[in-house]
Structure 1
Amino acid sequence: MFTTFGNRGTMHLGLCLRVLILVALTVPIRAAQPAQETFTLTVPNGPTSTLSGSSVSLLCQVSPLFNVEPLEVRWYHSSNIHSPALLYKDHKIQETPVVPRYRGRVSLTGGMERGNVSLTLERVTLEDRGEYVCQVSSEQWYEKASVFLTVNVTGREPVLSVAEARGGGGGQVNVTCSSEGWSPQPKLTWRNKDGAEIRNEQEVLNTSDPQGLVSVSSWLLYACSYSDWLACTVSLSEEAKREGRILPHIYTAPTAVPGVYKEALIVTLILSLVIICALCSVILCKRRGSMWSSSQKSRNRSDQAELGQRPADQTELGKGPAETEHLIKGAENTVQTPTEQRAAGKDVHLKGSENTVQTPTEQRAAGKDVHLEGAENTVQTPTEQRAAGEELNLNDWHHVKIFKVNILLDEKNAHPAIRINKGKRAHYVKEKDTEKPSRTHLHVFSEERFSSGQHYWEVKVKDGTTEKLSWYVGVARENVDKRPAVPLTPQNGFWILSYDKEQGFHVNTDPQPPITVAKLTIVGVFLDCDRHTLSFYNVDTKSLLYTFTDVKTSNYFPLLSPGRCDKIPIKIN
């Protein structure tokens, strides 16, 4: 039995040794396995999409799977076959000959030992879009496949406008929506206030600029409405879309009734001309009467002096015959004052008159050019500057502060949660639970409205060391829609500078430009109605913060907000 067990143990031991040897021999054989004689490449069926500025992987896989590190991998754009975007050869990525704009932006990150030769492209630009070719080569075989890359660029917020429809019949208006800067071609959708898509009677036009960005515009006929919103959405996807809204109606003055308005205008012009002519006649008659009276008095004095006549009021003055004779004898030597000589029509020549200095008013009346000492340092009024054709430098706070005007806040036109003190100071009060404000945007308008000229005012937004949570200042056009759903955007008639403790300073444009402010106590606001600009200034540093360049409307109302749930006031300086 011992012998049998020993033989069996020897047999088992030999079997184990043979298995171990087989395993040891198999592993190096597989590692040294040569490349497949033939293979194929697997790539995505559809295009690969990414956003401009992001990173993207263009997938490419060898099949069957094997280690492709000894092989050559080449990626190139279909428009440039001879210059690759990436070249892998001799177990490393080659620096040349590759397209310079891809250097430092491409890599193979899939795992070549597992047959993955996917290309990763970083900081994608619009120029990178198009067809890319993945090519893998061995000494016996090569294969290639194409991957299509699309680069998505989200364009600007749609701009909407309303115009009279041709023919003017049927109570319809022509509504236009346009947006630019998209890639690829976006989808434009019209919707009514209920969110239902409008498909009838609309046209869409797409155009491309030299950079390949697409501009889209559409217009449709729509029933004129004073209360129903019309929305225009331009999108590439649910995540990349822009929307604008508008009320499809044209504002007209209440008295603008055909025929009546025209007749009223003509009557008003005629009455104005009649009143002006009457006033001019009265003023001219008064001036002529005054000149005739002065001339007559001067002539009488001159005659009396030359003839030696006794003044009519001599007796009343108590002068005797001797005094009268003395006056008559000396009459030929009587010297008139310069004023009397001028009234008598005589030329005045005073001794030393060549050294006499006339006042600026007398010099202008004489038709002379006025040159005052130090005149080159004289500060002209804003009106004189504009009349002289001088342009304002909006970057210079000193140029615009001279237009400062007095602003009063209109308490009757304020949000229910705002309290106004003496027309200058505004602060937030806690809203009642039962109170339902007419609008969620918490601000107050001014009593003043501007339609022309230049106007500057200041708003103190910080008092001492206490920091506010939020506020905004700016202007709004007349008759803006005040419903809660209306966003505060330039398209809806609001141009504002805002502050929020979480977001910092920003203006209500899309996209929002960065505004860096270290310290701000007083905001200066300058409105140029004639040039349609609105500028904001940091009065502490006397520097320009931001300028809106297309602020167009008929009437402008200054507005401000002390912020919601923030009881620290702001005030007009």
Structure 2
Amino acid sequence: MLWIIIVLLNLLIETSVSLTVVVPPDPIVAHVGSTVTLPCWISPPENAGALEIRWYRQDQFSNPVLLYNHGKIQDIQEESYRNRSSLALRSDQSGGLKDGDVSLRLEKLTFQDEGPFHCYVSGEHSYGSEEVVLKIMALGSTPVLSPESLDDGRVNISCRSSGWYPEPSVSWMSDEGRVLRPGGTSHTRGADEMISVHSWTAVSLSDAQLVSCSVSLRTGELKESSIHIQAICSGSSSPWNALSISLIVLICVLGLIGLILYKYRGKLKGHEEETLADLENRGENTSDHAGTSMSCIVVGDTNIEELRKHAVEITIDRERLHPDLRVSDNCKILRDGSEYKPTGEGFPYELCAYGAQRFTSGRHYWEVELKQANTPPKNFWIIGVVKHGNFTTRDSSALTASAGFWFLCSDGPRGFYTNTDPPVKLSLTPRPERLGVLLDYDHGELSFYNVTERKHLLTISSRFSGSLVPLFNPGAGDQSSIKILDLPKPVEPAEPSQPLLSNTAAVESAVELVY
């Protein structure tokens, strides 16, 4: 009887012994869409090839993320993790299963993967279990800064960025390192769980020369943009400006000599004064898009690689091509035809071509080459977007924002200007040789970038509706053509480690095959 009691006690002790399973004390942080390894191992090390290894989510023991048993991966698995989970080494120095490394590798992370994962290991007479917490992050876009002059002489600067997770924080700072107080900050969560942020602050021109907006996560990862206050260009329609113009005109009318000189100067300049006057007056005649605005030149580099993550292929629509334009066989190169006869001295607005692609949502990026080898950069061009179906382009009066056109124009010696209401004239130095265009349909923004200089030039804000298509006009008389570029695909980050055991592979003997 005593012997039986001793045997039972030993059996009870043996079955109650637990494996010591070890996991990192801190959460594992990874970005959405990436690959991550959740470390888990047995201490002291022992061969886990003959053990059961089960990774599962909360209360999903019987529906595991991954189940390894009898020397191979089992087909019992939560469907959302099929073809995404495998066993992997927690480090390059790991000996794998034979040394008790039972780490889990997850690919193509989603927001639903955030939270605890249970690492459960059991043998014939013992078991152990620990929890690993996974945190999902998403680093958003570089902030777009949009300034607007206020009546009190200050400048209101708006900062927008999208594609963040979890909710980011926003900070404002002057060039002297002084923290600026925001006027307000709002966050919006999209259907894809990504978060967009909008913040704004009002700054006096005497307070700071340079203002920076930083959007950051708790991990310290951030995106930042800066804007030079004195570089802000705006088409002001102040009543004082209008009064000054009226007084000048009145003086010219009263002075006969001044009037004659004024007319003579107009003849010398030809159509230049008329064209710019048309642009300046256009804002008085279009009220449907009075909310259209523009941000000005931003100081600081732009992450072109980040923009190219939204790259799309753009081609010219041959069916809607002006008869005096010529396009290459691949529909990528556009220029004026040699037989074109201009109808006037101004910009040839009628020489428009349209992209074959339509956009009704999302962010889309493309680049246009404006300089070919051994030729100067193009002097005349229009690049932007147009609402599909608005293909009447007789003259400048037809290419307004209220008519569904948004673009940047290079008009040779007359400079650069937008067709916003009111229009805005800019001084862009050096002249862009490669122009990047980012259409953010959902946020109503059309941004332009000098790709060669890696600079953000301007952003036009409006309210888009219907389908938008790319807009191109090569002007007339330039040596260089407009060339739509094929952009390289973004380089994928190197994977931290290769999967050791996967449920997609036929594994007869996991220990012998992998290790």
Q: Which is higher, the Rg of structure 1 or of structure 2?
A: 1
- What TM-score, normalized to structure 1? 0.44
Work out which structure has the larger RCO, using CA pairs closer than 8 Å and 6 or more positions apart in sequence: 2
Q: Larger % of helix: which?
A: 1
